[in-house]
Structure 1
C-alpha cells in the first residue's frame, strides 16, 4: 500500500485513535492562533509553519497527520511551485519528536508507540520523494524529528542559530528518521561519528558538514522567504539561484574553518572499523585527548543503541531511503519492546540525573542474537512505502 492510500484510507480511524490517546495523556490540539501547524499559500509557495514554540516545535502525531496530506495536495497543485517549512519562536526549527508522549504510550502498550514512528517515516519519505522544490528553513535547534522534516528535502538553509544533532544513542534509541540513509553519505566517517557520539554542529558548520545545503544569516531569512514566495512559476533551478545568492552574501563565520577539520583524519581512521568494539579499541590505542574524549562520550551511551546504530549505518549506505525507513521502523519497535529507551528517557529527559542504567551495561554483553532480533522483519506489520 503506498503512502497516499495509507493517508486516505486510514485517516479517519487514525484521528479517532489519536483523540483517545491524546485524552489519556493530557495533550490537546488547538485551533486558530494556537494551532500546532499553520498551513498557508503565499504567492507561489505552500508554507508549513511548526507552531509549538514552548515545546521547541517538537513534532507530535497530530502535526504529522496535518503536514503529510498537505504536502501531497501541494505536490499535485499546478499553482504551487515551492514548499517551505519553518518553525516559530526564534529558538528552534524542530527540536525532535514528542518523545515523552511516545514513552508514556509505549509503557501503557498503546498504539501511539507504533503509529507515531510509522506515520513519521511515511512523512519523511514523502519529503524525500517530493516532486516540488522543498525548502527547510532550519533557523534554530534541529534535532531528531526536525532533521527528518528537513534533511531529505531538496534545500536546507542553516543560520548562525542552527544547532544540529542526532543524540539518540544517549536515550536508548538510534538516529532514525532516515539517519541510516543520510549519515553514511556524509564525507568520510563523519556520519558514523555524529551518529554514535551525538556531537552537536552549530551554524555554518551544519552546512559545511553537508547536512544543510546553504547558510544564510538569521536576520535575512524573512527576506529570503519573501523573495522565494514572490517568484513567478519558479523551477528548482530558480529556487537554487535565490538561495545561492543569499548564501554568497552571508559573511558570519565565513573565514572560520569547519570545527572538526583538525580532527577529520582521526575520525576517518579511528571510526573506520568492523564493529563498535573495534572503534573503542582504536580510541584506546590512539590515546590522544580527542580520542579519550570520544571514549568517555561513548561510555555514556546505550551499548545496544551503539551497536544497533553502527549496523544501521553500515547497511544503510547501500540502501534506498525507502528500504532504510523500513529497517528503521523495525528498529523503532525493537526499542519500544526493550529497556534502554524508557530508562534513557527517564534519566536524561525526566529525572535529568544523566545516569541511565543500561541493560546490558557493556558492549560485549550485547549479543549477535540480540542485535539480529532488532532488525528482524515484522511481517504484516512492516512499514509499507
Structure 2
C-alpha cells in the first residue's frame, strides 16, 4: 500500500501536517488539499491542539506548487478536474487565512505556487538558507493564485507586482526583507526547532511558547539583494498598465531594468495582464474570501485557454522552454478578453468558503 500524501497527527500540543510527496516536490493534489482541510477542521475545536505546524518530508523542498500537469490535462478537456482542484485548494487557503490557532510554516527549500498558498496565511513563516520562493505562473500561462491577489499588492512598494510579473525567485534574505518570511533559521536546526515547539506547546500557551522557542533557533541571513533594487522596482513598476511598465523599463535602459525586460519578454502577455488586473482588484478588497472568489473565476477560465496548455507543454512536458503565446503581444490582449476572464461564473458555479466558515 502506498504511503499517504499527507501525514496528519497530534504531537504534544501541536497539530502536525506533513506534506509527503517528495518525488513530486510535494506538489499539491485535490486529495492532499482535502486531507489537510479535514485535519484542520477537526483540530479547530480540539483544546488539545494549541497550534499547527506545516512542514514536509525529505529534503527536496516544502512545496513546488499544484499538480500542474493534471491541471493542463484537465484544461485540455472539460476542465472539471481543474475546477475541483482550485475549489478545494482555495477553500484550504481561506481556512488557513482565518484559522483561530497559530500556524507555523517551515518554508525549507522550494516554496512556490501552492506552497505559497499554504505558508503565507501562517502567523510564523520560517525560511532557511535552502528556501527559494517564487510565484512563477506568468511563465506557464497561469496566474499568481492561491491568494496572490491579496498578498502580493500588500508587499512593500511595488515588490509584489514585480514578483508576480517576472516570477522572480528570491532567497531567504529577500523573503525576510519583503515580509514573505517572518524568521530565518539554518536548515540543520529545523528538526530541533520542531521538536522544541512540540515540547513547549505540550505545557505552555500557544503564542507564548512559540515566541519563546523561535528566538533560540533563528539567525541573521546575509544582506538582502533586493534592497539594492527597491527604488528601481517602485519606480519602474508603478505604471498604470503592463505596457507602461515595459515602456519604463525600456526608457531606463540600465542593467537591472534591461534584465527585467528580457525576463518579461518570455512571459505570457495574457497572464501578465491578468496578474496586473488581479493585483489591482485584490489591493482594494477588504475580505480575503472575495479575493478567492475572484481567483476562482480566473482559474476556471484560464486553465482551458491556449497559453496555459502551451506553457505547460513548453516548460513541463517537452521542456523546450519555447512557448508560443497567443496573443504573442501585450497589445493583442484586449480589455474585452480580460473582462471575460474576470466575469462572474454562471449561477451555482461560483467559489464559496467551506460550509463551516460561512455566516
Q: TM-score, normalised by structure 1?
A: 0.89
**Structure 2 residue aligned with 1:105:** 74
**3-state SS of 1:38 partner:** strand
Q: Deviations over 1:12-58 (max 9, x none)?
A: xxxxxxxxxxxxxxxxxx55xx2111111110101011011111111
Is 1:360 the counterpart of 2:327 in the alignment?
yes
**Structure 2 residue aligned with 1:162:** 131
Decide which moves more: 371-380 or 277-286.
371-380
**3-state SS of 1:341 partner:** helix
Higher RCO, 1 vs 2 (CA within 8 Å, ≥6 residues apart): 2
How many residue pairs get matched? 349
In 2 relative to 1, CA 317–244 (structure 1 residues): closer, same or farther, beyond 3 Å?
Answer: farther
Q: In structure 2, how many angstroms separate the alpha carbons of the residues matched to 1:108 and 1:280?
A: 35
1:243 to 194, 214, 225: 214
Decide which moves more: 141-150 or 316-325.
316-325
**Structure 2 residue aligned with 1:332:** 299
Paired residues for 1:1-385 under 5 Å: 31=2, 34-231=3-200, 232-247=203-218, 250-251=219-220, 253=221, 256-319=222-285, 320-380=287-347, 381-385=349-353
Stretches of 4+ aligned residues off by more than 4 angstroms: none
Contact 2:136 2:166 in 1 (8 A): yes
Contact 2:79 2:304 in 1 (8 A): no
Q: In structure 1, how many angstroms separate the alpha carbons of the residues matched to 2:147 and 2:101?
A: 20
**Structure 1 residue aligned with 2:357:** none
**3-state SS of 1:187 partner:** coil
Q: In structure 2, how many angstroms separate the alpha carbons of the residues matched to 1:258 and 1:85?
A: 25
The alpha carbon displacement at 1:246 in A equals 2.2
Unaligned runs of 5+ in 1: 1-29
* RMSD of aligned residue pairs (Cα, Å): 1.2
Q: In structure 1, how many angstroms separate the alpha carbons of the residues matched to 2:129 and 2:172?
A: 4
Contact 1:159 1:204 in 2 (8 A): no
Q: TM-score, normalised by structure 2?
A: 0.95
Contact 2:173 2:223 in 1 (8 A): no
Q: In structure 2, how many angstroms separate the alpha carbons of the residues matched to 1:110 and 1:179?
A: 22
Contact 1:81 1:233 in 2 (8 A): no
**3-state SS of 1:364 partner:** coil
Q: In structure 2, how many angstroms separate the alpha carbons of the residues matched to 1:125 and 1:244?
A: 29
The alpha carbon displacement at 1:65 in A equals 1.0
**3-state SS of 2:331 partner:** helix
The alpha carbon displacement at 1:110 in A equals 4.9
Q: In structure 2, how many angstroms separate the alpha carbons of the residues matched to 1:291 and 1:266?
A: 8
**3-state SS of 1:80 partner:** coil
Q: Deviations over 1:205-224 (max 9, x none)?
A: 22222101111111111111
The alpha carbon displacement at 1:146 in A equals 0.6
Q: Deviations over 1:240-289 (max 9, x none)?
A: 33223422xx24x3xx3211111111110000010000000000110101
Q: In structure 2, how many angstroms separate the alpha carbons of the residues matched to 1:95 and 1:306?
A: 21
**Structure 2 residue aligned with 1:10:** none
The alpha carbon displacement at 1:237 in A equals 3.7
Contact 1:82 1:133 in 2 (8 A): yes
Q: In structure 2, how many angstroms separate the alpha carbons of the residues matched to 1:108 and 1:192?
A: 32
Unaligned runs of 5+ in 2: 354-359
Q: Deviations over 1:193-215 (max 9, x none)?
A: 00000000112322222101111
The alpha carbon displacement at 1:379 in A equals 3.4
